[in-house]
Amino acid sequence: EALAQMLMSAFRKQWLPMQALSSSPGDLSLALQEAGVTTATAHSLAFAEEIRQKSRMRGTLMWAPPRFQIILSIHPPKKRSEVMASQQYLCAGCGTEVEVSEFCKLRYCEYLGGYFCECCHGQAEAVIPGRVLQRWDFSLYPVCNFSKRLLDSVWFLPLFGLSSTSRTLYPRARELDKLRQLVALKKQLGACRLADGVLQEFQQLPSHLTQNPSLLSLDDLLAVKRGLLVPQARALLRAAAAHVDGCELCLANGFICEFCHSQDVIFPFQSERCKRCTECKACFHTDCFRDAGCPRCARIETRRKLMGTSAFAA
């Protein structure tokens, strides 16, 4: 409608003055006045239509359409009348006014925490992120059509961090610390030209789990709930570690603890028995490491001083 109004306005601007010039001189002023009035009316109508369209898209002072947002909280239970009063007695999806006698026909959305009409709520069900992160509850709850599309679109996206879980559920998610070892191990294998076969096995897991395991998707959390993800990660970790232990190229990239001088080769991915210096990134046994007096840092500092002394002497 707005486009039609614009086209009609442009048509009247061009056609009516030409029609006025072709008419008699006595009717010229009258035609111009009519053209001006018609053009002004068209502009006002187009402006009013533009306002109406924008109001329809963005809502009004009393109602606004649902926004794309990730909600991590659980809505507290409230009476239907209280929720509808907060919604100004309008459907939360389309803004249709609802009579008090029709309240019983409205349907509740567990994700957005509002009531919707039958057109906006098709009684679809979905897993609620807030209930997963706070109560480890993967049950299906009724949601409106908008929430259903939103939750389906983010199901495989890594949006939820381990820090988002409640303290009572964090021990269950701590098992995913194995994924951090996979990240370091994947970097180690990336420097070995003989590890192509092992690297292909990493494709069994979603790519974000071997790149940034601190963020998980709802699908990952459901795999943890079903006991599928952690055993798969452990099996992959054993296979990759076996390659490193038997590969001469990988062993050449390992570290020797310079505190105890043991011949045991250690690697950064062995987080349980290895600790890295924050400055030079060298690896040492966890029991041997001391924050002060890293041997490699001391050598680097001595070399830097010698280079500075020789340059000054020259």
Q: Could you report the per-residue pLDDT of 185-209, keeping only the tens digit for each?
A: 888 888 888 888 888 888 888 888 8
CA angle 235, 236, 242 (to 5 degrees): 90
Per-residue pLDDT reduced to its tens digit, 14-71: 554 444 444 444 454 554 455 454 555 555 566 556 545 544 445 667 788 898 999 9
Per-residue pLDDT reduced to its tens digit, 218-271: 998 898 888 888 888 888 888 888 898 888 888 888 888 888 878 888 888 777
Q: How many CB atoms lie within 10 A of CB 53?
A: 12
CATH number (1.10.3720.10, 3.90.180.10, 3.40.50.1370, 3.30.40.10) of 80-154 reads 3.30.40.10
pLDDT (0 to 100) of residue 168 = 55
The model's pTM: 0.66
User: Is 107 in contact with 113 (CB distance < 8 Å)?
Assistant: no
At residue 127, the 3 state secondary structure works out as: strand
User: Is 176 in contact with 229 (CB distance < 8 Å)?
Assistant: yes
User: Is 55 in contact with 62 (CB distance < 8 Å)?
Assistant: no
Entry field: residues in the chain: 314
Give the separation between CA 211 and CA 174, rounded to whole angstroms.
Answer: 17
